[in-house]
A and B are shown apart, each in its own frame.
Chain A
Amino acid sequence: MKETRTEQAPPRKNVPLLKRKRFIFVGAIVLIAIAFVAYIGFTKFATYDITVSQFVAQSGSYAGKQVRVVGEVVPGSVNQDSQNFTLSFIMADGNTSLPVVYQGVVPDTFKEGTDIVAEGKSDQQGVFHASQLITKCPSKYEPSS
């Protein structure tokens, strides 16, 4: 095996240009790959955060689309049918409100009067079917008030 110890090898003068070309080539491929994936991501997997009032105002354009609606759980509106794993409540943002139905395990941090994010779609009757409830859990980095 004719291994030359590379540490002693003198720098070759013709390499940089070749290397630079290869570097640019690989870099371009990588950037294009990232851009492609990001494009696919934004067109296919993105859900937009909107408030209840935005959602209700443009319910036509959001019909059948996966969205994330942000709002407050109206106190007294929560109705939990635990037999069927169904939770129904009203989400509000100012004066606009939206009935929401959710099936599944209710997160521990779900409470009346708190802000939540409901991800899902609305049906023709205007009821929002949430597939996921994101509650804001009191974090460890909460400033004490």
Chain B
Amino acid sequence: MFKLIRRNLLRNKRRTILTVLSIAIALILLSFLDLLLAAMSGVNSANANRLVVRHAISLTFSMPAAYEQRLAALEHVEGITIMNWFQGRYIDDRPENFFPRFGTDPDTFPDVFPELALSPGEIDAWRAERTAFIAGRALAEEKGWDIGDVITIEGDIYPVDVELTLRGIFTHTTDEAAERVLYFDWQYVEEALGNPGQINSFYVLLDSPDNMNETIAKAEAMFENSPDQVRAETEAAFFLSFIEMMGNVQFLFSAIGLAVIASIFFITVNTMAMASRERTTEVAVLRTLGFTRSRVLAIVLFESLAVGVLGAAIGLAVMPVVTGAISSVLATQGITFSELRLGERTSALVMGIGVFLGLAAGLVPALQAMNMKIVDGLRRVA
């Protein structure tokens, strides 16, 4: 029986190969979306001891710089620093020249981000010079920067062009994405703008993750009656809300994934129906020879299942290559994910969908073959 299934699969090689490949490509896309979502929600550079305080309305609103002093006075706070998204334009608007650029406070930043490794000499050099900046190793290597190099970032959100000198290159032990960021002294922009004293966000380092909820509640309560109310959240939650600014990404990705699966499902159903219809007489002959209805059902279902599983297997085999290639392309556009690897969960999802597609697509033709009257099947061609 398995010999017959195998031969039937190879009967129209081009059709089988195209169907298997279309399933494989659909599953690659689906699993990539799944990996992307997992990588986004994983945000592994987040520090469990850190919380982020931002404007209650949205990230695009700023808060008075004076909030820093009041937040620093809260119990359990061991350090606090400011963080402003400068954006700007480096060289030109090409995606490969885009990377995150933040204005911060060199005096407090190293204490709040201890995982970013800088030598004491580099920290001192950064603090000593208003126009100094530090960059992650991955970013510096990508741009070919060395200590002492001067770069210019043209302002867009802020009407200030900043000319910066590289004084430190930091590393992160686990998260390459954290190494693709540039930090400079926000005071540079503050002075150029006439000291407006507006801050996007405060990063607060606590003594223990156990005190996170209590501090969040106190921070939000502290500014409850002020014109600029704040929202405090864990760093991981903050990253997620940042992603959500792009819209409901998860919903979007899920919808795309479902649409892909639905379309490939109908294509596979059609293909299996065509393959089955072409063999109506053969099914009738098998039944004449003594094959039972259930055996005929099993033959058609196994054939369809083999197509689905083969597609999933090819998808899984090719997925690491595709993930690597797309990650590289995204990295050149400033989008990096350190955890874009095919895990057991995604593999199981892909194989599960492959099995489902195979069985579901084969069900209708299999039932038709099973319920066909033998004389009708023989009459169709003869």
Partners in one complex: no
- Name B's A-contacting residues (CB within 8 A): none
- Name A's B-contacting residues (CB within 8 A): none
